[in-house]
């Protein structure tokens, strides 16, 4: 997908994982709901042929804060799988809910200009294996540089003190990629999905625990400009002559 550049480009958030059932749509719709309640209306792009995000949006009550929806499949042709889309005028957030199966070329096409990339992972041996292989492809074929600080992992549908949870956390902590939140296996997400809303639109006394972790995702996303500036500054420094890291031994020699 080619998001046409604009002077004041929206924050492009890509949500992806090669395995279905990991919570991509749940994350995408809840982010759209959150940004909608804080305004201005975000743009939610459903790139999955099954159209789960658009189904959720169809259920959304008219009185709820506005969310612009784009069904990417309607813009595809049989010969050209690339889609050129813009966020709706006024949107400051562009959220892409990607399908499970992507070729290396599609992976690069979808992520090369993303400001933030989120990978939800659930605690099962199959999902962990799939995530490990996918992250390797993301770094190799999509040429994603972790030093750009635009990639983060979310542990999804977790149940603490279980073997699968401990296995997931061991895997995630072995990566040089931040784990920004651990979302509970909560019925609040199921209820929200069935009613076209996000958990932030439910009564606070029911969602306090879930919102604590979800707002950690939002806090990381809100720092996208600072992360980009830090990455640019770091790249500039690495390419300067003599920009080596001084150890205590080398410092004494100077």
What residues does each domain of the chain span?
Answer: 2-253
Which of these, 212, 216, 211, lies nearest to 201 by C-alpha position?
Answer: 211
**3-state DSSP assignment of residue 247:** coil
Helix axes 163-173 and 125-140, enclosed angle (nearest 10): 10
What pTM, to 2 d.p., does this model score? 0.83
Residue 132 confidence (pLDDT): 81
Rg (CA), the chain: 19
End-to-end CA distance of the chain: give it in Å, rounded: 51
Neighbours of 54 (CB within 10 A): 21
Which of these, 212, 159, 217, lies nearest to 15 by C-alpha position?
Answer: 217
What superfamily in CATH does domain 2-253 come from? P-loop containing nucleotide triphosphate hydrolases (3.40.50.300)
Residue 84 confidence (pLDDT): 57
Output phi, psi for 13, to 5 deg. -115, 120
- Cα–Cα distance measured from residue 183 to residue 244, given in angstroms and rounded to the nearest whole number: 40
- Cα–Cα distance measured from residue 113 to residue 122, given in angstroms and rounded to the nearest whole number: 26
70 is written with which tokens? Answer: 């784009």
Which of these, 29, 35, 77, 18, lies nearest to 192 by C-alpha position?
Answer: 29
Give residue-wise pLDDT tens across range 229-238: 765 555 544 4
Residue 83 confidence (pLDDT): 54
The stretches in the chain having pLDDT less than 70 are: 1-8, 76-85, 143, 145-147, 228, 230-254
Q: Using alpha carbons only, what angle is made at residue 241 by residues 235 and 246, rounded to the nearest 5 degrees?
A: 85
Residue 183 confidence (pLDDT): 94
């Amino acid at each position: 997908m080619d998001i046409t550049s604009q002077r004041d480009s929206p924050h492009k958030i890509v949500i992806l994982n090669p395995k279905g059932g990991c919570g991509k749509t749940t994350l995408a719709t809840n982010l759209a709901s959150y940004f909608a309640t804080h305004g201005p209306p975000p743009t939610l792009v459903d790139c999955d042929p099954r159209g789960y995000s658009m189904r959720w949006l169809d259920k959304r009550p008219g009185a709820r804060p506005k969310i612009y929806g784009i069904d990417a499949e309607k813009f595809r042709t049989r010969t050209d799988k690339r889609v050129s889309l813009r966020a709706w005028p006024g949107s400051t957030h562009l959220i892409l809910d990607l399908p499970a199966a992507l070729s290396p070329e599609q992976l690069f096409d979808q992520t090369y200009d993303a400001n933030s990339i989120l990978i939800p992972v659930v605690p099962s041996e199959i999902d962990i294996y799939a995530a490990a292989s996918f992250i390797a492809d993301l770094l190799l074929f999509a040429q994603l540089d972790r030093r750009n600080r635009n990639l983060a992992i979310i542990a999804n549908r977790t149940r603490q003190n279980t073997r699968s949870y401990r296995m997931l956390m061991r895997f995630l902590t072995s990566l040089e990629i931040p784990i920004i939140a651990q979302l509970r296996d909560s019925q609040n997400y199921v209820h929200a999905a069935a009613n076209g809303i996000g958990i932030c639109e439910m009564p606070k006394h029911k969602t306090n625990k879930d919102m604590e972790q979800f707002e950690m995702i939002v806090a990381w996303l809100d720092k996208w400009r600072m992360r980009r500036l830090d990455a640019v500054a770091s790249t500039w420094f690495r390419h300067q002559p003599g920009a080596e890291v001084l150890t205590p031994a080398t410092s004494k020699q100077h």
